[in-house]
Amino acid sequence: MLNNLPKRQSHKSKKTRLGRGIGSGHGGHTATRGQKGQKSRAGHRKLPWYFEGGQLPLVKRLPHIGGFNNIYRKNYLELKTSQINKINEKSLTPKILVKKGVFKKLNRSGVKVLFDDSVKVKVTMNGFKYSKQAKESIEKAGGVAN
């Protein structure tokens, strides 16, 4: 019967108690803490990851450097309205512009159409950002700006 089985000897050894005298196995002089230093002293606790041993911490030094790079900044590729006149296409997307050689490759932010000259061709544009004047110019020429 299961209730009559003898108790198995545990495979885990008994936990040694640190700093409880020479007879405990890990007691006596340093009690496994090493020789000197902050971590060997009584009352030591785990220090935060940014602690630098009393040196002025990096967190406090950084504001003196000044500035940072905004990771959310949008870097649009720029397409001028005068370039739209030169491209011979009825519909435009950013991928078509890469195939035509206007841009080498697309980036994460995309392409923004900026106004510098009025659009003279009727063109359908998809997948762009537009400045207010550029959108008006495309629609005035009979095109569609989505």
CATH at residue 82: 3.100.10.10
Q: Is residue 114 part of a domain?
A: yes
Could you read off the pLDDT of 94-105 as tens digits, one per residue? 999 999 999 999
User: pTM here?
Assistant: 0.54
Residue 3, H or E segment: none
The tokens for 78 are: 């720029």
Q: Is residue 47 part of a domain?
A: no
Residue 116 domain-assigned? yes
Tell me if 128 is assigned to some domain.
Answer: yes
Note the pLDDT tens digit of each residue in 11-62: 777 777 888 888 877 878 888 888 888 888 888 888 888 889 889 988 888 7
CA atoms within 13 A on the CB side of 55: 8
What's the number of domains the chain is made of? 1
Cα distance between residue 128 and residue 92, in whole Å: 9
Domain contains 5: no
Domain ranges, residue 82: 77-145
Predicted confidence (pLDDT) per residue in 117-133, tens digit: 999 999 999 999 999 99
Q: How far is residue 3's CA from residue 1's CA, in Å, rounded to a whole number?
A: 6
